[in-house]
Amino acid sequence: MDMKPPHIALEPMGVPTPRRSTRFIGEILVEAGYLDAEASERIAQAQRQNGLSFGDAAVKLKLLSRADIEFALAQQFEYPYLHATNESVSPSVVLAFRPSDPFAEQMRSLRTQLVMQRAANTSVPSSFAILSAQSGEGRSMVAANLAVAFSQMGERTLLIDADMRSASQHKLFNLSSRNGLSNMLLGRAGPECISKVPHFFDLSVLTAGSVPPNPQELLTRARMTTILAEAAKTFDVVVLDTPPAAEFADAQIIASRTGGGVLVTRAAKTNARVLNRVLTAFKDCGTNLVGTVLNLA
């Protein structure tokens, strides 16, 4: 039994280059590999000669697409998202690629609701367990996209994959899961498990780690409380992915540790009877549901 939880200082590893909001669009695109220096100079000359913006001149010369320009503008205004050709993150993380997508807007709406609740009531936690009754309802996708959404507004965000039964966040963000939450709970690894997500200044991910035979027992350890407490000191928001609540009690344990749950359901998928049973279980363990998501996909 963990009588005295150890101090675990959580600091994200692999910090990207600091933001430079004064960068020009051409500089951003050269650094990203969409232009070389010669092409950038050709665009700048056309810009001066024709009184055009850099983007309009580039499109007129057919050296860049309008999507390329929008990508560079987002970087310039410190609103990071990835170009469609980037393969470092799964396309399922919609906010990482298509910030104007209707689903992205829904995630921003959920983010706003959570931020407003927190502003109106300081007892609302800054850590959220993303919950669902069954598998296949989109819980992990919502967790990943919500974490990106918070990071895009400048909130230092930690995404924890607490689903040690069927982990997926390492796949979505193309990260190693050799060491992660399970290893930290055993005391065999430290904050070096936390990875910065390239291109997203304020997003870090703690993967699930090695697959343990006893995830429930690990989650009830005092070290889990310590990890979350230390995370709250380093990050503004902590988002936790969880296993399906109707199948495992892990989700109830996690939600009770965070104090705030976002429930994900799926149209034509979620079983109402199972959902009611899960809601009763969450109520009995004192989970505070602070948001809901209806997945229409």
In this prediction, residue 182 carries a pLDDT of 97
In this prediction, residue 12 carries a pLDDT of 61
Lowest mean pLDDT among 2-6, 20-24, 176-180, 232-236: 2-6
Cβ-defined contacts of 31-36 (< 8 Å, 24+): 32/71, 32/72, 32/75, 32/83, 34/64, 34/68, 34/83, 35/63, 35/64
Separation of alpha carbons 286 and 179, rounded Å: 31
Express each pLDDT in 48-90 by its tens digit. 999 999 999 999 999 998 888 877 887 777 778 888 888 999 9
DSSP 200: -
- Contact call for residues 181 and 160 (beta carbons, < 8 A): yes
Separation of alpha carbons 239 and 142, rounded Å: 10
Separation of alpha carbons 99 and 105, rounded Å: 7
Residue 102, classified by CB atoms within 10 Å of its CB into exposed (0-12), middle (13-18) or buried (19+), is exposed
Asked whether residue 47 carries a pLDDT value surpassing 70, the answer given is yes
In this prediction, residue 26 carries a pLDDT of 86
> Mean per-residue pLDDT for 224-228?
94
pTM, two decimal places? 0.82
Q: Supply the mean pLDDT for the chain.
A: 88
Percent of the chain with pLDDT over 70: 91
Asked whether residue 214 carries a pLDDT value surpassing 70, the answer given is yes
Helix (H) or strand (E) holding 262: strand 261-266
Express each pLDDT in 259-289 by its tens digit. 689 999 999 999 999 999 999 999 888 888 8
With cut-offs at 50, 70 and 90, classify the pLDDT of residue 1: very low
Express each pLDDT in 97-155 by its tens digit. 998 899 999 999 999 999 888 777 666 568 999 999 999 999 999 999 999 999 999 99
In this prediction, residue 9 carries a pLDDT of 61
